[in-house]
Structure 1
Amino acid sequence: MARVFQVTAGSSRSGRRRAGQPTPAPVEPALARRAGIVAGYLAPHPPHLVYAENPPQNEPRSTGGWEVLRWGYEELRRRLRAHRPDVLVVHAPHWITMVGHHVNCVPNPRGLSVEPIFPHLFRYHYDFRTDVDLAEAIVEEGERAGLVTSAMREDGVRVDYATIGALHLANPDWDLPVVSLSANNNPYFYSDASLAEMETLGEATRTAIEKTGRRAVLLASNSLSHLHWDTEPDLPEDMGVERPFTHAQYAGDMELLQTIREGPTARLKEAVPAHIEATSSETKAGSLTWLMAAMGWPAIAGDVLAYGTVIATGNAVVEWVP
């Protein structure tokens, strides 16, 4: 059972008192604020989850739905706050760039993001801050690593719904600066052929974070199994019709999540390509591989906070703390 459902009576401090153990000294502030990647999350972006939350920024109104996944995001938000990050860095599959990897360097992106397939669910007014110094550093480190990397500085360019969806669900207050990275389109043509390049991008991201002295939380904004319905019910949030596309798709997701729960993350180097082949997984866009590489493929297990389907696609909210 995931830790989200487990509660220990009393605090660790009171437990030590009962056991007669000394209470450790407080952590020094300088150590507590150590720079680097403090946590990483698999943070899927289905527009339905934002729609179901009814935030004021989104024009359509709903009656709810997909509660288990949304409860997982509630727990993600609680944990994210405890990590006290300076910035959120997100890699999203739907900012697709044909040539190389782009980094959003616009200081204050704002506008209306519309999901092209579900405009009746997602018409979101966004207004957020970019950590431009970190964004420029990621461009520089990517170029130094041999990647084709570009800085997007065109004010007024519309931000894709996958980026907005993951950022809203992780931090609906929008009170933290952001860096967003594009998904090079190659994976959609060549399956998992570009995952090695995503490892290089992850390493460049980590180097930039450390050099700029940031405490960063990373968000990999992709779903898992990705076959989905081509029609929807009259009430989009009708949970009576929500289920996996096939049992095989569900079983593939469970096999990958079991690998994540067991750890270490290095096992995902083989598990992710196998999952892509078996389930048409959206991880082919490279977000999960980027996340693991940025964290240095730590020898830990992931904590699965929630799993559920959205129009039959598999979605999991997962935390890794290096």
Structure 2
Amino acid sequence: MSRVFHVPPVPGEGRRAVPHARSAAYSRSGEPARSGEHAGQAPGGGPARTGIVAGYLSPHPPHLVYAENPPQNEPRSQGGWEVLRWAYERLRHRIRHVHRPDVLIVHAPHWITMVGHHVNCVPNPKGVSVEPIFPHLFRYHYDFRTDVPLAEAIADEAGALGLVTSKLREPGVRVDYATIGALHMVNPEWDIPVVSLSANNNPYFYSEASLGEMEVLGEATRRAIERTGRRAVLLASNSLSHLHWHEEPPVPEDMEREHPYNDHQYRWDMKLLEAVRRGPTAPLRELISEHIEATASETKAGSLTWMLAAMGWPPVAGDVLGYGTIIGTGNAVVEWTPNGDREGDHHG
């Protein structure tokens, strides 16, 4: 059945106001800036190289945004889940001071499309994103810029490689909470342009469907980045083990109640993360599938496979910045760079 989501290669297409800070990654003409026009220079001051400069496993549970108490989110909290939030603080430092991207590209499991892969090509999405299960935690007012030329290029490359694709152009579309949650935790200033990709949901319904399509989408993403000359950071918005509690405590941020769903789920998360820390990434191809079967992992949506495939399954170890559970699910913030180079990971 997964074959119905492929087509022969063909040319062409297959409230409360929150101030918007115009991205430094845009030139004065409104087009994404080229290297040297903005802070996206190499740390030594020379021209920044283009291509994929880093990829992050960046989970999106709404509790993390809730605990941050940003002005865009209506509910207020007392904090919580600090280890994961501190991991995101380290990630933000690397984004700002090491990678300095032109664009953030995110693949999220809760923008669900039943037929094919969709790319958000709306220039300035804005609205309110509500988490349907936890609306008391996540009602987020968003307003951001899309790198439309890159978004269109990804859709075109995916179509040329035989994937069913669509360019979303509906200006009133409501952006899903997984996309918003990951982007906020990575860049709460919202001053870097974005491209967001949907999750083709057919693997949830057709057992013979595999993660192979996500590797093709990753290749299309890489080609588009290189063709447009972008300096890109990729975000795979997945949790790991994904069994979770069905009832939350009276105070959602009560950390006394936070622990792994069970030992089996935790042990498999550790097995996967130990392989990540050892490197290289190639063995993860099979281990991700085994982890999905063992834990109902959210990586079944394909975001992690897409990201690592786009990076060419780099022969490096991943840097696990932090791990923690949220309502029992396993969540890790992990960085991969093409050459394993993390120079500049310091404060000061």
Normalised to the residue count of structure 2, the TM-score between the two structures is 0.84
Select which of 40, 57, 60 maps to 2:72: 57
Residue 190 of structure 1: SS of its match in structure 2?
A: coil
The Cα of 1:28 is off from its aligned counterpart by 6.7
The Cα of 1:189 is off from its aligned counterpart by 1.8
1:169 aligns with 2:185: yes
Residue 122 of structure 2: SS of its match in structure 1?
A: coil
Q: Does the 8 Å CA contact 1:143/1:149 hold for their aligned counterparts?
A: yes
Select which of 87, 90, 93 maps to 2:103: 87
Matched residue, 1:190? 206
The Cα of 1:186 is off from its aligned counterpart by 1.1
CA distance in 2, matches of 1:96, 1:294: 21
CA distance in 1, matches of 2:134, 2:188: 21
CA distance in 1, matches of 2:322, 2:65: 16
Residues paired across the two proteins, number:
295
1:136 aligns with 2:152: yes
Deviations 1:119-155 (A, max 9, x none): 0000000000000000000000000000001000000
Alignment of 1:22-101 (within 5 A): 27=44, 29-30=46-47, 33-81=48-96, 82-101=98-117
Matched residue, 2:37? none
Percent identity of equivalent pairs: 77
Q: Which runs of 5+ in 2 are unaligned?
A: 1-42, 339-348
Q: Does the 8 Å CA contact 1:252/1:278 hold for their aligned counterparts?
A: yes
Matched residue, 1:220? 236
What's the Cα RMSD here? Answer: 1.0
Deviations 1:51-80 (A, max 9, x none): 000000000000000000000000000011
Q: Which amino acid aligns with 2:177?
A: Y
CA distance in 1, matches of 2:247, 2:103: 38
CA distance in 1, matches of 2:316, 2:208: 24
More helix by share: 1
1:259 aligns with 2:259: no
Select which of 311, 315, 320 maps to 1:295: 311
CA distance in 1, matches of 2:131, 2:328: 18
CA distance in 2, matches of 1:219, 1:74: 15
CA distance in 2, matches of 1:80, 1:144: 31
Deviations 1:91-129 (A, max 9, x none): 000000000000000000000000000000000000000
1:277 aligns with 2:269: no
The Cα of 1:309 is off from its aligned counterpart by 0.2
Q: Does the 8 Å CA contact 1:99/1:184 hold for their aligned counterparts?
A: yes
Q: Does the 8 Å CA contact 1:192/1:276 hold for their aligned counterparts?
A: no
Select which of 162, 171, 182 maps to 1:146: 162
Q: Which runs of 4+ in 1 moved over 4 A?
A: none
The Cα of 1:193 is off from its aligned counterpart by 2.8
Q: Which amino acid aligns with 2:46?
A: P
Q: Does the 8 Å CA contact 1:58/1:124 hold for their aligned counterparts?
A: yes
Normalised to the residue count of structure 1, the TM-score between the two structures is 0.90
